[in-house]
Structures are given as C-alpha cells and as structure tokens.
Amino acid sequence: MITRTTLGSPGLTVSAMGLGCMGMSESYGAADWEGGLATIDRALELGITFLDTADAYGSGHNEVLVGRAIHGRRNQVQLATKFGIDRSAGDRARRIRGSRDFVLRSCDASLLRLGVDVIDLYYAHRPPQDVEIEETVGAMAELVEAGKVRHLGLSEVDGDLLRRAHAVHPITAVQSEYSLWTRDVEAVVPVMAELGVGLVPYSPLGRGFLTGTLDRATLGEKDFRRTNPRFAGEAGAANEKIAQTVREVATRLGATPAQVALAWVYAQAERLGVALAPIPGTRSPARLEQNAAALELTLDAEALAALDPLSDQVMGERYLPAHTAEVARSQDTP
C-alpha cells in the first residue's frame, strides 16, 4: 500500500503519491471518460487516494468524472480542486479571477459537479488578476467557516503572495510544477518551510517528456504540448538529451524513466524541509502501477549526480507567454 504524508501545519493527511486527473479531460488529447474511471478505480485499490482536479479542466468535465468515480466511497479519498481560471470568453481570452463573489460561486458549482458536501483542499488556481490576494483568501476562509472546505491551497505563487495569503488564513499546501527540469518553486520553499506549508508538485514527469516514452512527432492536434516551448522545434530536440540521461539512469537501476523522475522528486523532501505529495497524471492503470512503484526506489549518489544538474540544461519556457504571465515568480527564482 501507498504510504501517507501530512501536508502543512493545519495537517491534511494524504497518500504520499496523488493522482493528477486533468489529462483525463483535456490538454493531452480527447477526453477519456472510461479510461479515467478505470484509472481512478485502480488508484484507490493501490491506496492512491489524493485526487487532484479543477473546475477549469474540461470546463467542468473533469470534476464530474472524478465525482462519478468516487461516488459511494467519498470517505476513502482526499479531494482537491481549484478555482480561478475563467474561460467563459474562450481559452485565448481567459482571465484569472478571485473576487469574493466569484470564489463563493465557484465553490458551490464545484461541490455540485463533484457530488460532495465538502472539499478537502481548495486551491486558488493562479494568483488573481482582478483583486488582491487578501480578498481571495478571505473568501476561501469563509468557505472553511461554512464547512464547505477543509483546507486552503494556492498554486504557482511567490513567497510574498504566500505570506500575505497565510496572514489571512493558514495555507496548507502550495501546488507548483516541480520536477527534474522545473525547479522554480525552490525559491519559495524557504517561506513554505517557515510557515508550515506543504508542497504538491504537479507535472513531476515533465508532462511526459521525462518518461522516455514520448514521441513528439505523434502529438495530436488537441495536445497542448505540440506548441509548448520545451517540446517544440529546436528546444524540443535539444531537450532530448535530458530524457536520454534519465533513461540511462533508469537502465542502470532496473527501473523505468518515470520511476526515476518521481524518485528524484521524493529524494528532495529532506533537503527542502517540507512535506510533499506529487500528483503525476495518467489515464492508464498500467502506468499508474509503474508510477506507484517509484515510492520503493532509492536513488544512489551516482544517480543523483547525473540528475541534479539537468534543470540547468533545459531549453524553453514552461508555457507560452500568455500563460507564463499568469505564474507568480520570485525575484530570485533560478
């Protein structure tokens, strides 16, 4: 069974590995309802009970899917969802919202789609663009008081925003991209450690790039990685050497590249000084099982020496410019 970890001083106990559910509904090709249900079923069988979704994923489709998957077994899971990305004018004109009324309405809508009475961990998906963070977190705190939410989280914030938010209401977790090739959040970790905030790394497999199974030439029209700066063109070709290094380490250790990439994330917990629970995404029960085995893999000094420098070799930004602008960055972020 999967081990457990406790995120943040407020104390949310979750499975040490979670499941990111976004790809079941968007971004990596057509939505896969049946595959998503089967993967979540297998996750719960394995003890992966920390499920991550958002109201923006598939424009609500993903929350409905997750709600259907956990129907009748709500008490088995730790359920995390997010609000804030308003796509009502289309994704190219999306806004990041956080006004009090928007937060309260978003939560009620998520509860309805999920078919639950309470959300275990409720995140602001990105720093709000329309109001100050204090208003957003103040509204989130009202949801805790009303019994609709148990714990609060933020996604892709810098240290200053985290401090301001935490002063309004304790923050249990920060969700940020974190992997062998994306380590920006390490600039925020000292503040997280000081305040007692856990880390939930998303895309710990580099959106599949680090798994050694991705063929960039076959990415479909609905796969956002086709135009992602790290996957496309010369940068994508240059980054292949990073995936090759991970494959070489995996071969030597008798593991898969995905297991090595996940084991590297777990290996950082002691150095960072915060509890962490990565949420690799998949819609394949077989790959889910392989990912779960990463918890049993220990990287030796030789492996860490090969893997640690890889983030300095990455070509390309994490996102296209419009989405990069939505991410708060600390001034000293590498």
Catalytically active residues, by annotation: 57
Alpha carbons 215 and 217: distance in angstroms, whole number: 5
To the nearest 10 degrees (0 to 180), the angle between helices 33-46 and 285-292 is 30
**Amino acid residing at 115:** G
| Nearest Cα residue to 296 out of 5, 13, 17, 76 | 17
To the nearest 10 degrees (0 to 180), the angle between helices 233-253 and 257-267 is 90
Strands (E), the chain: 4-7, 12-15, 18-20, 50-52, 78-83, 85-86, 95-96, 119-124, 149-155, 173-177, 198-202
DSSP designation for 300: -
Backbone angles phi, psi at 74, to 5 degrees: -55, -35
Alpha carbons 329 and 310: distance in angstroms, whole number: 21
Given a contact cutoff of 8 angstroms between Cβ atoms, the answer to whether 28 and 225 are in contact is yes
Q: Tell me the CB-side half-sphere exposure of residue 216, using CA atoms within 13 A.
A: 20
